[in-house]
Structure 1
Amino acid sequence: MAQKILYLFFFLSGIAGLGYEILWTRMLAVSLGHETMSTLAVLTAFFGGLALGAWFLDRPVSRSSRPRLWYAGLELLIGLWALALLLLIPQLNPVAASLIGVDPTTIRHWTISFCYPFILLLPATFALGGTLPAMERLFTQLNRKQRAVGGLYSVNTLGAMLGTFATTFFIMPLVGLHITGILLATLNIFAALGVFLFIPTPQEKGQSTGKDLSSFSDNNEISRGRIYCILFATGLLGIGFEVLMVRVLSQLFANTVFSFAAILTVYLFGTAAGAACYQRSLRYPKSRHTLTSLLRATGLCCLITVFLLQYAEVLFTALQGMIGTGFWAAVFVEMVTALFFLFLPTVAMGALFSHLAQSLRRSDGGVGHALCCNTLGSAAAPLLFGVILLPAWGMKVTLLVAATGYLLLLPQFRRADFLPTALPASIALGLALLPASYRFIHLTDGETVQEYRQGIMASVAVVQDTNKALHLKVNNHLQMGGTTSVFSDRRQALLPLLLHPAPETALFLGLGTGATIAGVAGYPGLQADGVELLPEVIDLIPWFSKATGDLSKAKNLHFIAADARRFVTATEKQYDLVVADLFHPSRDGAGSLYTVEHFTAIRHLLSEDGIFCQWLPLYQLDLEMFKVISKTFLQAFPEGQAFLGHYSLDYPIIALVGAKKPLRFPENWYRKRLSSKGMRHMATSFGYDSGYSLLGTFLAGHAELRKYTAASPINTDAHPVVLFQAPRFAYSNPASPHTRLLALIAAFEQPDPETVLAEAITEEDMFARERLPAYWRARNSFLRVGVDVQRPRNVRQLYEQVSDPLLKVVRKSIDFSAAYYPLLSIAYDLYPEDQEASRHLLSKLERANPTRREAFVLRQRLFSQEN
């Protein structure tokens, strides 16, 4: 009975342990950032504290006659310190971000990113390292002849698997990070009290002797020093293989917070299964022979996985076709795919670690030392394989290094070992010669990859289509603009630029192809900083010079490779403009850029007349998530407003605009704004030809937004709604983007012009209160007309479809040109085919808007001979 209770408590401890790793990583990322340097430093700090605890607590725990008290005390310390961290981390995060700075050296970045979490987490991680040796000692004292390492490791890892799955998929989305931390701490405290109250002391059960507790490893054929080295190397290779597999599968998976959780869940499940198999089947092994077999089997399983990986896209697509769409269906597909490739290697890894740890176990300790060496290897793996080897050697070679590394650890090589070892070695050689790159880039007919970068955090590709247009793809999923989206990209810079009277400093968060920040290149008197998380994206910007111009010659632009959230927290500069890119809310890490804490930090960056513009990709989020982000935005900018980026039905984008002061504009402000050098040409080239064309994109004021979002939650660091809810959109089969756009249009059908117009002083100000609502009505009608337009085969069919509906739109507003100019083009294109129809259309267009001369001029030019 005591054995089953101990298994239960160690299972609960495993749930809490992995839950903490996920929780603390999320909490620390808001200050340290999502750069590889920061992520690796946090992981190394976590593993480093665990390794220290495992090493230094091993012998004291093993020599103690009361391991029950040790275990209870360690669990209690973990739980209490975890509760303290819920208060400490939010208070210390801004200090850490400031210490790192906006553009730190590598040494400074690594040192602070490592030391801050290492010291902060050390009481808990140190205690975590001692739980396995303490539990193993207690277990064997109560079950003197049972070797327990494999069983305990399996149960604890199985708990870690459940902790990963439950924490990510259910607990944190439901109750937020702080309540999750309290629940996890409760598990530790429960385990501590349970062991203390329900497990008998060794005196009650009978004190074990050193002889009873010693294992076969006291007479082991392999030296302890060599086993330490093998443990370090297997930890290095095992986690290195996981890191590489995550990078490969990220090209297929949706790359949400749930994608990584799915892979980690499968990894832990396989490891637990391997440890359980070892415990059940290999209780009395011959150490050298078993070690040789397990190393060979692990290498072989990894090599088989490397071979099968070239068919990953086929498998993933087939599973999607069979299982369908929806959140849980998509998660299931990702987990099954991960299971297919990771299960066998992780089973072998779990059995291998159990054997090595059991081999070291002696009457005075050893299990903790085994855990320490393996953990240190695990901590070094992401840096070696993800940062150094992968960019230098490529995916295939680095995978083969991780797989064949196990064969180099064989304790000895005899003639009888030749054939069993030759098989995996031959597979490795064949794979090295196989022309497979493990690049999964979805290309349509005629598309080609112009350049590919296997970066530290992601793979980035420049893709050219059949029209010679270039596009930027990250991890095969996220398309970050291209040469065909210049109109939209440039307007993302122009809208906030034109709303500000005279900006001198600007900050662009997210660069993509550089087409947006190119909108301020060479702008007189303006200095602009551009922050981009992926250095590879910055390196590839010159590919898009057709859309951006030569940005290397723009002396007023400064690019920085950094995490946007940390940069905003750390910088001491103030900006007149802050423009945030179209961050895909579903992608892991983007949710922290939509929190009230981040928006508030940006508000503090703004100068007194500063403007912040957050762009939202309506084509990549549902209306519920739009409401969450908008309501969160209003917490930092109570006078916030919403604007349309353009009138695209396929890729609608929304701008949330906020400032420290209410934004109100007189009728003549835009004419004055365009009087500056070069401003008129820049604005009119991208559709902002009048104040009405700019304010005509106004969608809603703060009152309308507040009413629309009243029932929505707020996205905070403590309760990251976007992080966990936005991915459901990526996994679903949503309606067309125009459906969501028209729903917004309907919700804000009659915005109040007083929200955006200054107090009426002149006669023109009075007229603006009539002309601007007329513009909005025409805009809304224009968008609705676009939904009904079928793809025309020729200009005649287009004329028959849209001429009457667009003429009705033109009649609604004398200022709305988005319907006027298409009708001019149709009339011009129709002239060679049907002159009478062309003349008829131009005449109608003149009557629909007599204030404009373009239709009259074109009619005169086309039909001048007749006149």
Structure 2
Amino acid sequence: MNQRPTASIQYALFTAFAFSGFSGLIYEAIWTNYLKFFLGHAAYAQALVLAMYMGGMAGGAWLAGRYMGRIKNPLLAYVIVEIAIGLSGLLFHKVFLSANGFVFDTVLPGVDSPMAVELIRWTFAAILILPQTLLLGATFPLMSVGILRAFPDTPGRSISMLYFTNSVGAVVGVLTSGFILVDAVGLPGTIMTAGLTNLALAVAVYGIQKKLFFFSSAPASQGGSSPLLRPMLLVALITGLSSFIYEISWIRMLSMVLGASTHAFELMLSSFILGLALGGFWLRKRIDSYKDPVVALGIIQLLMGLLALSTVLGYNELMKIMSALYGALQPSDAGYLMFNGSSHIMTIVVMLPTTFMAGMTLPLITLVLFRGGAGESSIGRVYAFNTLGAIIGVVLASTVLLPLTGLKNAVIVGAALDMVLAIYLLGRSGNNRTWRGAAIGMMGVAIIGTYIAPAFDAKWMSSSIFHMASKASPDSLEVLLHRDGRTASVDVIRDGRNLVISTNGKPDASYAPAEGDTPSADEPTQVLLGALPSLVSPQAKTAAMIGMGSGISANVLLANDHLAQLDIIEIESAMVEGAKLFGNASSRVFSDPRSHIHIDDAKSFFAAHKRRYDLIISEPSDSWVSGVSNLFTTEFYKRMRRHLSDDGVLVQWVPTYGNSPILVSSVMQALGNNFADYRIYGPTDSVMVIVAKADGKLPELSGQAMKNPAMAAAMARVGWSSLDDVHKHEIGRREFLHAVFSASGAPVNSDFFPFVDQNALRAKIVRTRNGQHVDILHLTGIPLPGANYMGTIIESDNKRSGYYLPRKRSEDGRIAARYFAGGAKTAMPSQVDFGVLTTLQNKPGCEDPVAQNGWQAALLQFAGLAIPNTSMEEVKPAIAFLRAQLCSASEAETNRAMLDLMEALSARNPPAVEAAAKTVLSHTKTVQSDTKGYALNALLLSLYQQQKWEEIQHTLKKLPGSRSILATVVESHAYLNLKKK
């Protein structure tokens, strides 16, 4: 005997559908990432990927609704669909890799037309996800109809609960995949997790449906033609359109408030969906009691539009609030959690009121049609039309409204659509003329009031919270340009004496335009990025540059007369507008016929054009910005190899500010695994510029390009008057440094295991240096000759000091050496206190340990400045003078040993350095801790030069303590070399 299904069975199905939402949002996020690797990250690509995904969902929902009358057991059909989705999730990564290899290695090389290349890539992309998205789209109508047949008395409540549970699952899916799964198991493991969830879900629902009585019954009435069908489907389409205009606009607005990191996007998306979920939940107990759900729907649409307008009125205060919060954070893991928590609260405050209303619209539309006789098929149709509207909203907002009207007006357009719907819905009932009139009045007042309200403050929008947290107010800024582009909002501001160009509030480049003004902090990096390619490959004819920035780097590169062509690939056209404001510093980019600007994603451009270049220069934004870390992965570097000529060179910008050594190691392993040789330069103390060659050894720098007056002038502006000045900024070479990166414990940064993307924001906020890993830039601060070189570590080459103020430090080293050698004493070395030199001029008392210790400390400071920056001939008289200051008593033996060590270092003699350093370290009672550290570094350096790997390990075990950067480097080499044996 059939029994009526219990409420527990209904709740079990609701719970199952929550897990369906969990896996569904994982698929959306992960498929989007996969297809970006396939198609690129251009604005149209992002919009079309989302449109393709949602289009498949709409098609699946429509097909399920169309054929619902023929399905006797919707829940069994649902089980079959979930099994198919789950199996596709388990196989997707392997299928993607095969398709990607086939397309890029077999199909595209034989295609000449760029348009044909695009068509092929989009066709394969559609084939990859369309079957699964059709299946995902079918799940909602199948589950809905299955529950409605079992529980026909409360259709509104059932539909509301289904939207609620599915949306709650989606919120959990977004946050779990973004913060946990991708970091733990990468993209392949995350999508497999979703597939396993679908299979487990299929098993659970199969067991539940066997307990229900209604499968032997005929399907519920499918209904016929309803006069409400077309109007309500149009309402579903328009409300979907307006909702996604809001979403795209809010994401852009909040990106400038929260920082445009990957996790910021996840927090925003989860807040958007949470509002939809809570709206459906609130409605569940009320919906079936509405006598006229059309009126309720009209009121909700009106409130939705009004609440959306309110989000732009308080926007100017959001940046101030978040900047204050960020400035108060402690640089710790707790601060990182607090930042994410505050960010989530901020997104909820902005999005939830409006999306709460949006969450009630589809249940009401579906109920109106269900009561009106449209039947079960209406469920799939409503879902399909709403999704189609969302697709239109995404494309309209990203390609038309934001670029042409700006953020504020885009939200106003969305709100106007909702309120026009409200007026239409309220007007359908003759008893609601008062409501309709009130709606018209409120719409007019709200839109006009919002339009004439103060505009978004461009000064705050142009300065991210990370930049403004240290400032009381941006009032001193002068905004020269603000553009809401298709992919980002771009600003050019005057900040004091500097011009600054920024994307989504994050400064990307700066320039001091005044004649004779001191260069900005960014200019050495920008100049080196443009000059270094010509110094390492002076005969290069073709070049590609990824990223426009201020245009200064490209402008410097174009000063090379040998260059025949430069392709600049910039994803955002507004960035090009901004670069024009940098005047003469970027003028060649726009006037030189060799310069060609392409508005495209880098991967998309290279795949479509299939050119090979002598030079490729990559200067993307910071790695913590969403999507940018994909330009620091092993797959990216492998792809760049394909587009370099046989002797081609890659020049890569890598930031270390706001970054951690472990993340830098991850990037450098990705690069080093694909390029046979590289060198790292440090134009400033927070940036690395890498020059790399795919095969063979990099040539030494050539000064040929510096004979060009324009190139020479650009370099002289930032203090590089000769090739020697560039040499001094070299941090190290592959053969010396790659062992450190390999032994760091960092995984290789990959598209599919995005270590940098997952951890960059944490590193930026925590702002700490983990002692287990090496900050390579600090190698150049070790006061030993050539501490950052392999093969030239003890070489007699005093031109390579490896210091960020190299020329000044070299000058000071020579001045200090001459000070004790009878040279001119009119000039004082600025990097050594006068008291140090005075102390060394006087003989310390032999029986006075305090005087000997003071003299030892002064000697160490002198050694750190003079020895790395002078030749043996230059420093030898000074050492002789200092020896004469010491007496023969035993109290002076440590200082005498230090002078022996200095002499051995100045002679670049590894065995002598080893012996002298051991002697210093043997004076355990009189050697000071700083002197001991200096001697230990010198000993390790000499052992490294002599390749005494076992003795390096023995020394570090015998003398435990805090590891210096050099010790970490040398220890890594010892470990790897002994491992080979």
Shorter chain as denominator, the TM-score bin is: 0.7 to 0.9
- In 2, Cα distance between the equivalents of 1:750 and 1:807? 10
Structure 1's 750 and 165: CA in aligned 2 closer, same or farther, altered over 3 A? farther
Aligned to 1:480: 509
- In 1, Cα distance between the equivalents of 2:699 and 2:298? 76
Structure 1's 618 and 321: CA in aligned 2 closer, same or farther, altered over 3 A? closer
Aligned to 1:239: 244
1:557 equivalenced with 2:591 (yes/no): no
Aligned to 2:652: 614
Aligned to 2:869: 813
Structure 1's 537 and 749: CA in aligned 2 closer, same or farther, altered over 3 A? farther
Structure 2 residue corresponding to 1:38, chosen from 36, 41, 45:
45
Aligned residues of 1:782 and 1:809 also touching (Cα < 8 A): no
Q: Relative contact order (C-alpha < 8 Å, sep 6+): which is higher?
A: 1
Structure 2 residue corresponding to 1:355, chosen from 344, 364, 378:
364
Aligned residues of 1:271 and 1:347 also touching (Cα < 8 A): yes
| Secondary structure in 1 matching 2:190 | helix
Aligned residues of 2:272 and 2:351 also touching (Cα < 8 A): yes
Structure 2 residue corresponding to 1:377, chosen from 382, 389, 394:
389
1:466 equivalenced with 2:501 (yes/no): no
- In 2, Cα distance between the equivalents of 1:512 and 1:642? 21
Residue type at the aligned position of 1:699: I
| Secondary structure in 2 matching 1:280 | coil
Shift of 1:481: 3.0
Listed one character per residue, the Cα deviations across residues 633-684 of structure 1 (whole Å, up to 9, x for unaligned) are 111013333222x2x34x443425334211254xxx7466756787666666
Listed one character per residue, the Cα deviations across residues 372-413 of structure 1 (whole Å, up to 9, x for unaligned) are 000000011121122112222222222111112112113243
Larger CA deviation: 74-83 vs 432-441: 432-441
Aligned to 2:320: 314
Residue type at the aligned position of 1:24: W
Shift of 1:164: 0.5
Larger Rg: 2
Aligned residues of 2:23 and 2:170 also touching (Cα < 8 A): yes
Aligned residues of 1:38 and 1:113 also touching (Cα < 8 A): no
Aligned to 2:483: 453
1:55 equivalenced with 2:62 (yes/no): yes
- In 1, Cα distance between the equivalents of 2:799 and 2:829? 29
- In 1, Cα distance between the equivalents of 2:289 and 2:726? 79
Structure 1's 785 and 596: CA in aligned 2 closer, same or farther, altered over 3 A? farther
Correspondence 1:481-496 to 2 at 5 A: 481-483=510-512, 484=520, 485-496=522-533
Aligned to 1:714: 748
Structure 2 residue corresponding to 1:159, chosen from 159, 166, 169:
169
Residue type at the aligned position of 2:583: S
Structure 1's 281 and 316: CA in aligned 2 closer, same or farther, altered over 3 A? farther
Shift of 1:287: 2.2
Shift of 1:722: 1.2
Residue type at the aligned position of 1:192: A
Aligned residues of 1:320 and 1:330 also touching (Cα < 8 A): yes
Aligned to 1:416: 434
Aligned residues of 1:155 and 1:272 also touching (Cα < 8 A): yes
Aligned to 2:895: none
Structure 1's 574 and 188: CA in aligned 2 closer, same or farther, altered over 3 A? same
Shift of 1:562: 1.4
Structure 2 residue corresponding to 1:695, chosen from 727, 733, 736:
727
| Secondary structure in 1 matching 2:646 | strand
Long gaps (5+) in structure 2? 1-7, 464-472, 513-519, 813-825, 838-860, 873-905, 907-981
Aligned to 1:137: 145
Structure 1's 295 and 596: CA in aligned 2 closer, same or farther, altered over 3 A? same
Structure 2 residue corresponding to 1:81, chosen from 85, 88, 107:
88
Shift of 1:731: 3.2
- In 2, Cα distance between the equivalents of 1:583 and 1:299? 36
Aligned residues of 1:396 and 1:438 also touching (Cα < 8 A): no
| Secondary structure in 2 matching 1:268 | helix
Correspondence 1:823-862 to 2 at 5 A: none
Listed one character per residue, the Cα deviations across residues 438-478 of structure 1 (whole Å, up to 9, x for unaligned) are 642336453200111111111111101332x3110111123
Aligned to 2:669: 631
Structure 1's 598 and 671: CA in aligned 2 closer, same or farther, altered over 3 A? closer
Larger CA deviation: 182-191 vs 610-619: 610-619
Aligned residues of 1:150 and 1:278 also touching (Cα < 8 A): yes
Aligned to 1:171: 181
Correspondence 1:392-541 to 2 at 5 A: 392-409=404-421, 410-413=424-427, 414-417=432-435, 418-419=437-438, 421-437=440-456, 439=458, 440-442=461-463, 444-467=474-497, 469-483=498-512, 484=520, 485-526=522-563, 527-541=565-579
Aligned to 1:27: 34
Shift of 1:107: 7.9
Shift of 1:490: 1.2
Residue type at the aligned position of 1:76: I
Residue type at the aligned position of 2:322: F
Listed one character per residue, the Cα deviations across residues 4-60 of structure 1 (whole Å, up to 9, x for unaligned) are 221121111101111001001111112211111100110110111111111111132
1:196 equivalenced with 2:214 (yes/no): no
Listed one character per residue, the Cα deviations across residues 229-264 of structure 1 (whole Å, up to 9, x for unaligned) are 000000000111111111111111111110010000
Aligned residues of 1:66 and 1:202 also touching (Cα < 8 A): no
Shift of 1:687: 4.5
Q: TM-score, normalised by structure 1?
A: 0.83
- In 1, Cα distance between the equivalents of 2:703 and 2:509? 33
- In 1, Cα distance between the equivalents of 2:117 and 2:494? 36
Structure 1's 404 and 678: CA in aligned 2 closer, same or farther, altered over 3 A? closer
Structure 2 residue corresponding to 1:296, chosen from 295, 299, 302:
302
Aligned residues of 2:304 and 2:357 also touching (Cα < 8 A): yes
Shift of 1:625: 0.8
Residue type at the aligned position of 1:382: V
Residue type at the aligned position of 2:147: F
- In 2, Cα distance between the equivalents of 1:778 and 1:38? 41
- In 2, Cα distance between the equivalents of 1:277 and 1:797? 77
Aligned residues of 2:676 and 2:697 also touching (Cα < 8 A): no
Aligned residues of 2:798 and 2:868 also touching (Cα < 8 A): no
Residue type at the aligned position of 1:708: V
Structure 1's 677 and 475: CA in aligned 2 closer, same or farther, altered over 3 A? closer
Shift of 1:734: 4.7
Structure 1's 54 and 109: CA in aligned 2 closer, same or farther, altered over 3 A? farther
Listed one character per residue, the Cα deviations across residues 279-306 of structure 1 (whole Å, up to 9, x for unaligned) are 1222232222222222222222222323
Aligned residues of 2:616 and 2:650 also touching (Cα < 8 A): yes
Shift of 1:339: 0.6
Percent identity at matched positions?
21
| Secondary structure in 2 matching 1:366 | helix
Aligned to 2:678: 640
Shift of 1:121: 1.0
Aligned to 1:592: 630
Aligned residues of 2:538 and 2:562 also touching (Cα < 8 A): no
Alignment RMSD: 3.6
- In 1, Cα distance between the equivalents of 2:187 and 2:82? 20
- Count of aligned pairs between the two proteins: 787
Aligned residues of 2:298 and 2:425 also touching (Cα < 8 A): yes
Larger CA deviation: 693-702 vs 516-525: 693-702
Structure 1 residue corresponding to 2:795, chosen from 769, 776, 788:
769
- In 2, Cα distance between the equivalents of 1:714 and 1:224? 55
Structure 1's 199 and 744: CA in aligned 2 closer, same or farther, altered over 3 A? farther
1:729 equivalenced with 2:747 (yes/no): no
Structure 1's 630 and 210: CA in aligned 2 closer, same or farther, altered over 3 A? closer
- In 2, Cα distance between the equivalents of 1:785 and 1:336? 54
Structure 2 residue corresponding to 1:365, chosen from 353, 374, 377:
377
| Secondary structure in 1 matching 2:486 | coil
Aligned residues of 2:482 and 2:489 also touching (Cα < 8 A): yes
- In 2, Cα distance between the equivalents of 1:748 and 1:137? 76
Structure 1 residue corresponding to 2:261, chosen from 256, 259, 263:
256
- In 1, Cα distance between the equivalents of 2:781 and 2:409? 55
